[in-house]
Structure 1
């Protein structure tokens, strides 16, 4: 039997006081998230992650307040539900300067960004981090974000993906097809920086964007940043099969994860891509200590600082379902708001959930179905090993319950156990983020990638 392959591990974060793990746990006495507006808070997180050889510090992001619950943003502000939200792209360069190997992922929406400005920003970031950066591609889901960008209502789901597809074409043309590989000469003696005939305009004229080009930035180490994607809907899986190199999975059932990945891999192979071109990170929450009793005590302390209303604010923002309007006995399917998948029981019975069902599901830190592991380091490592074997996930995105406590516990207690099993690397990886994930060690998109089809001929 071959030796086990080390899993990937990343830290999930948001540049806000309330992170998405459990948005009210900043109230925990040991939590330090009230310092999230300071560089020192993020520097501490990054140094711990870098020294522990984590693969990536990943930043989720939102562009509006969670204002569905109660019909306004008051509860979101009170509980700091993924708020106040700073711009992670302003934080990453500083963190890259104080770390050696840690890579960074940043969330940017294709719905509200312009592809030309976005391409330059990420090329700059790729230069400044020496290729240690990935882009989490999202289409956004908050109606408040739509209003912040001048829209009366949120663009429909399918239309957001149509916009994202054209957005991707534009950025690929800028990153991959504007500057030829041999364009930059950088020759002082000849007094030539770049060959003008090898830097081309893109002249994109589409339904939503008109971009002349050329790309303003010279080719960066990866050109196209590593492409991360989190959509799990049918359209989201199609998008992943076409574009994604790393999938972010917010599911817990290992069989469901495996089924979803197999579907994406099959669609990717039909496009000529290899299965190994698409890897994945599954959201993971842990509560661990040297003994079961101590681990349970930590969990109980989390529960005593957990507040249901804050979680329902988050749920309302995610789904459009405002539970403040519902009695426990009210069936969610009696109303037209929200998403059908959030209204039905997960047992396949076809029966609608009631508001009481949802409140019960979110009554504790486990949030009903999320992957949360409570126990000794050995027990947590056992569960990770088993889950990875069944799910076929490439690794895990550690979602902190307290900061920096969850990360510190993982590094101090769980990492040594994973290393014993060959599931966590013992030395850091160097090079660009893409080169670390590819068997061939290349920093560039593989030739079979859709984005590579936009490259200029040699």
Structure 2
């Protein structure tokens, strides 16, 4: 039997006081998230992650307040639910400067960004970090965000993905096709930085975008950043099979994760991709201490600083269901398109949840479907090992319950146990972000990737 392969590990964060894991836990006495507007808060976590050889520091993001609960922003502001939200792209360059090997992932929407400026921004980040950048592709789901960008309502689920597909075509043309591989000569004596005949416009004309080009930035180490995607719906899985190199999974059941991944891998293979081209990170929360009693005590302190209303504000923003308007015995009736699973009982009966069911589901820190492990470092490592074996996930995204406490506990207590099992790297990750994910160590998209098809578009 071959030796176990180290799993991937990343830190999930948001540039806000309230992180998405349990938004009210900034009230915990040991939590330091009230310093989220300072660089010291972020640089401290990045240094810990870098020194511990984590693979990625990941930033989720939103572009509007969670204003569904109660019909206004009051509860969201009170509990700092994924708010106030700073721009992670303004933080990452500083973190890259104080770290050596840590990669960074940033959530950026295709719904409200423009592909031309987006492509230049990420090429710049890829240059400045020596290829340590990944892009989490999202289509946005908050109606408040739509209103912030001049729309009366959020785009329909299918329309968001159609727009995203054209967005991807444009950025691939800019990143992969606009500058030929031999365009940059950087010849001082010949007085030529690049060959003009090898830098071409893209002349994209589509339903949503018209972009002439050429790309304003020269090719970076990766050209296209590592592509991350979190959609788990049928349409989301199709998108992942076509584009994603890392799939972000917010589920706990290992059989359900395996089933979803097998579907994505099968669709990816039908497109000529290899199974190994699509890796995954499952959201993980831990509460750990040297003894079971201490770990349980930690959990109880977390629970005493956990507030249901804050979680229901988050739930309302995710689903469009305002539980402040429901009594416990009322069945859920309204929902955001594409999120009907939030309304149905998990027992497969087809019956709708009541508001009381939801309040009970979110009554404690375990919050429903997410993976949370409570126990000694050995127990946590055992469960990670078993979960990874059954689910087939490539690794885990550590979602902190307290910051930086969760990360510190993971690094100090759990990492040594994972290393004993061969499940955590013992040497720093080297090279570009993509080169660490690919079996051949290459920094560019593989030839079988959809994005790679645009290389020939302008280089003949």
Q: What TM-score range do you get, normalising by the shorter chain?
A: over 0.9
| Cα distance in structure 2, aligned partners of 1:202 and 1:337 | 37
Q: Does 1:192 align with 2:188?
A: no
| Cα distance in structure 1, aligned partners of 2:445 and 2:77 | 41
- How many residue pairs match? The answer is 457
Change (3 A) 1:184 1:9: same
| Cα distance in structure 2, aligned partners of 1:77 and 1:387 | 36
Which secondary structure does the structure 1 equivalent of 2:444 belong to?
coil
Q: Does 1:120 align with 2:114?
A: no
| Cα distance in structure 2, aligned partners of 1:292 and 1:20 | 26
Which secondary structure does the structure 1 equivalent of 2:135 belong to?
strand
Change (3 A) 1:336 1:32: closer
| Cα distance in structure 1, aligned partners of 2:223 and 2:444 | 7
| Cα distance in structure 1, aligned partners of 2:246 and 2:179 | 26
Question: Hey, what does 1:234 align to over in structure 2?
Answer: 234
Question: Hey, what does 1:26 align to over in structure 2?
Answer: 26
Question: Hey, what does 1:49 align to over in structure 2?
Answer: 49
Within 5 Å, which residues of 2 pair with 1:26-425? 26-333=26-333, 335=334, 339-425=339-425
Change (3 A) 1:389 1:336: closer
Shift of 1:337: 6.0
Where structure 1 has 5 or more consecutive residues not aligned to the other structure, the ranges are: none
| Cα distance in structure 1, aligned partners of 2:367 and 2:38 | 29
| Cα distance in structure 2, aligned partners of 1:141 and 1:352 | 22
Q: CA-atom RMSD, angstroms?
A: 0.8
Which secondary structure does the structure 1 equivalent of 2:357 belong to?
helix
Which secondary structure does the structure 2 equivalent of 1:95 belong to?
helix
Which secondary structure does the structure 2 equivalent of 1:287 belong to?
strand
| Cα distance in structure 2, aligned partners of 1:368 and 1:11 | 21
| Cα distance in structure 1, aligned partners of 2:273 and 2:367 | 36
Shift of 1:432: 0.3
Residue deviations 1:398-441, cap 9 Å, x none? Answer: 00000000000000000000000000011101110000000110
Shift of 1:336: 6.0
Residue deviations 1:294-348, cap 9 Å, x none? Answer: 0000000000000000000000000000000000000113x46663211110110
| Cα distance in structure 2, aligned partners of 1:350 and 1:105 | 37
| Cα distance in structure 1, aligned partners of 2:342 and 2:291 | 37
Q: TM-score, normalised by structure 1?
A: 0.99
Residue deviations 1:122-168, cap 9 Å, x none? Answer: 00000000000100000000000000000000000000000000000
Which secondary structure does the structure 2 equivalent of 1:321 belong to?
coil
Q: TM-score, normalised by structure 2?
A: 0.99
| Cα distance in structure 1, aligned partners of 2:90 and 2:331 | 44
Question: Hey, what does 2:10 align to over in structure 1?
Answer: 10
Which secondary structure does the structure 2 equivalent of 1:11 belong to?
strand
| Cα distance in structure 2, aligned partners of 1:440 and 1:104 | 21
Is the CA contact 2:286–2:374 (under 8 Å) kept in the aligned structure 1?
yes
Is the CA contact 2:20–2:81 (under 8 Å) kept in the aligned structure 1?
yes
| Cα distance in structure 2, aligned partners of 1:182 and 1:336 | 52
Which secondary structure does the structure 2 equivalent of 1:147 belong to?
helix
Residue deviations 1:219-249, cap 9 Å, x none? Answer: 0000000000000000000000000000000
Which secondary structure does the structure 2 equivalent of 1:408 belong to?
helix
Residue deviations 1:364-395, cap 9 Å, x none? Answer: 00012210000000000000000000000000
| Cα distance in structure 2, aligned partners of 1:328 and 1:349 | 19
| Cα distance in structure 1, aligned partners of 2:342 and 2:97 | 42
| Cα distance in structure 1, aligned partners of 2:16 and 2:315 | 18
Which secondary structure does the structure 2 equivalent of 1:134 belong to?
strand
Shift of 1:351: 1.1
| Cα distance in structure 2, aligned partners of 1:410 and 1:350 | 39
Where structure 2 has 5 or more consecutive residues not aligned to the other structure, the ranges are: none
Is the CA contact 2:120–2:215 (under 8 Å) kept in the aligned structure 1?
yes
Which secondary structure does the structure 2 equivalent of 1:24 belong to?
helix
Task: Report the more deviating stretch, 366-375 or 237-246.
Answer: 366-375
Is the CA contact 2:67–2:76 (under 8 Å) kept in the aligned structure 1?
yes
